Amino acid sequence: MKRDIKTILCMAVFLTFVVLNFFSASAESADSYYDIEPALMNVCPNSIDIMWEFKDPAWAAVEVSQNPSFPTNATIYHTTETKEILKTTINGLNENSQYYYRVSQFGTTDPTRIKNGSFYTSKPIGNRDGFSFILYGDTREDSIFESSYYGDTETHGIMTNAIKTHLPKAKFLVHLGDYGYSGRRLSWIRKFFQIEQNLLKDIPLLPVYGNHEFLRETFKGCPAPVPYAGFGSGQTDMDSYLMPPPGAAHPFYYSYAYGNIQIIVIQTGTGDNDNSEDLYDENSEQYNFVRNTLISASNDPRIDHIFVAMHYPMYSAGKAESANLQFYYEDMFKYYGVKAVFQACSHDYQHLSKDGIHYLVSGGGGAPIDLNKSFNYSQTQAQVHKAEAIYHFISVEVTGQTVCFKTYKITPINPGAGTYQKTLIEQFCL
């Protein structure tokens, strides 16, 4: 049954070129059978996760094949119960292979009930062939403030198109948190996936939780949502949609390996406190998880690069950096050889470094940006290499022992037409 329909109102320039691109007709389109079309997450050598949401409970079938015409011997997965939100892990896949999939309501021949996509499984852990992935974050459109800030759903749509156009080199996306205004309001969650459906149907996401995923629905006077009982942890509805990688230690913090890199994902905040020390201090389970994972990753000969992804910034010249995160984790990161920390929450792009570790802030995925923002360089102990309040994404290119970061500024030209300018504003290698 339909549940929630309330509408919520609440560079040095290296390269510049203009990309004319029109919004996909499917973004935010009304679909008769799907609230959320299939979204991929957590690609591994032999598995991938798929999530989607029907408008009404239904039996589902997922067909997976290396042949795009889905021959009769295609593997078919049936759901075991009729549901609206479905999350399934497809196991038993061949590594480093292209697969095609289609999700449907069981037994249907109605083409509008069948959604198609494709993906590549990853090479085995330890493989040193080159690949790239995308960093972005803070995609929440903010209708409460958008009248005074340059942020709206059109910008998130442009960002999604810009990333999609930049593919297919990238193998997965790391979203650094704050997907929508509240992870406890279904319409905001759905809006994120509806805007990104053309991207996520073919490229898998590695999710990081931000504070807005836990934001109380009554925050800033927004009306209470229709109760959505029985889902997830009760701390957020977003965990009914986002899937942790296979074998995850916790729904909100975990580790993910691809090729010769390992990314440790940390939860830094809740809805009440975007930088919540209790979640990660030395008495927390998360602290032990991070330390134990760093010990094993630093001793794993297959892993050449260890990264950490967290929403709240440890170092920042924009939003205040966290002395607590520095206190508990900086020495640990240095000791176990973390090369870069991926951060967000501050709606801007920043590249900082301290004692050999690079700290990136990527909070320009579509959330409101103060174009007149002034950075406070004296508030941070780190060296600031670049800081700009811009919409952007970062392409991380891994080639054996080398990792290069390329940051692309996205400037909307005509949001209604979906046109934008893409500019490479910084690149550096480790």
Q: Which residue is nearest to Fe ion (CB)?
A: 345
Segment interacting with Fe ion, rule: CB under 5 A, options 68-76, 114-122, 151-159, 174-182: 174-182
d(CA 104, CA 110): 9
Site membership for Fe ion, residue 343 (CB under 5 A) = no
- What are the CA-CA distances from residue 334 to residues 256, 288, 308, 410 (Å)? 20, 16, 12, 33
Site membership for Fe ion, residue 325 (CB under 5 A) = no
Which one among 37, 84, 178, 304 touches Fe ion, defined by CB under 5 A?
Answer: 178
> Which residue matches tokens 């992935």?
133
Nearer residue to Fe ion within complex by CB, 197 or 211: 211
Q: Of 372, 374, 366, 377, give the one whose Cα is nearest residue 344.
A: 366
Site membership for Fe ion, residue 345 (CB under 5 A) = yes
Q: How far is the CB of 144 from Fe ion (least distance, A)?
A: 15
Site membership for Fe ion, residue 211 (CB under 5 A) = yes
d(CA 286, CA 218): 28
Q: How far is the CB of 415 from Fe ion (least distance, A)?
A: 23
Q: How far is the CB of 126 from Fe ion (least distance, A)?
A: 34
Site membership for Fe ion, residue 238 (CB under 5 A) = no
d(CA 248, CA 233): 15
Nearer residue to Fe ion within complex by CB, 88 or 316: 316
Please compute Rg for the chain using Cα positions: 21
> Which residue matches tokens 């929403």?
311
Site membership for Fe ion, residue 197 (CB under 5 A) = no
| 305-310: strand order across its sheet | 254-258, 261-266, 305-310, 338-343, 357-362, 349-354, 383-388
Which one among 157, 207, 210, 259 touches Fe ion, defined by CB under 5 A?
Answer: 210
Q: Binding residues for Fe ion, how many (CB under 5 A)?
A: 4
Nearer residue to Fe ion within complex by CB, 178 or 237: 178
Residue 157 identity:
G
Nearer residue to Fe ion within complex by CB, 125 or 144: 144
Q: How far is the CB of 209 from Fe ion (least distance, A)?
A: 10
Residue 398 identity:
V
Q: How far is the CB of 316 from Fe ion (least distance, A)?
A: 12
Nearer residue to Fe ion within complex by CB, 45 or 363: 363
Q: How far is the CB of 311 from Fe ion (least distance, A)?
A: 6
Nearer residue to Fe ion within complex by CB, 210 or 251: 210
Q: Which residues contact 147 (CB under 8 A, 6 or more apart)?
A: none
Backbone conformation region of residue 42, classed left if phi is above 0, alpha if psi is from -120 to 50, else beta: left
Nearer residue to Fe ion within complex by CB, 215 or 403: 215
Q: 303, 296 in Cβ contact below 8 A?
A: no
Q: How far is the CB of 309 from Fe ion (least distance, A)?
A: 14
Interacting residues with Fe ion (CB under 5 A)? 178, 210-211, 345
